[in-house]
Amino acid sequence: MIKNLGQMMKKAQEVQERMADMQARLDELKVDGVSGAGMVRVTLNGKGEMAALKIDPELLDGEEAEMVEDLIVAAHADAKAKVEEAVKKEMAEITGGLPLPEGFSLPI
């Protein structure tokens, strides 16, 4: 029984180290979301925070503010979904495909 406890503790430490590595990779991750046929581009980091925003100058001609705002929201949603998928993939690699416990949330 002690041997199994030692193995469990070792495994838990390995998972903790792999989680720290994943966090470091997510800090460096950059994901682009686009909308309006590429006229709006949002870049998020691995935590889902907006790192950059690019708007095609053509959108800023005239009174198209509402459309631009909607496109920004759509591009952000696109990038956020891609970040969540990348995190899910990273977690699957760390956990060996085991599902996360119900209620477990990631830092995004």
> From CA 68, how far away is CA 4, in angstroms rounded?
58
Secondary structure in 3-state letters for the chain: CHHHHHHHHHHHHHHHHHHHHHHHHHHHCEEEEEECCCCEEEEEECCCCEEEEEECHHHHCCCCHHHHHHHHHHHHHHHHHHHHHHHHHHHHHHHCCCCCCCCCCCCC
Per CATH, the homologous superfamily of domain 2-95 is Nucleoid-associated protein YbaB-like domain (3.30.1310.10)
Residues 6+ apart with CB under 8 A from 59: 36, 39, 40, 67, 68, 71
Spatial CA neighbour of 68 closest among 51, 52, 53, 48: 53
Share of the chain above pLDDT 70, in %: 86
pLDDT at 34: 92
Sequence spans of domains, the chain: 2-95
**In this predicted model, what pLDDT tens digit does every residue of 3-45 receive, in sequence order?**
788 888 888 888 888 888 888 888 888 989 998 899 889 888 8
> From CA 30, how far away is CA 26, in angstroms rounded?
8
pTM tops 0.85 = no
pLDDT-based confidence at residue 101 (cuts at 50, 70, 90): low
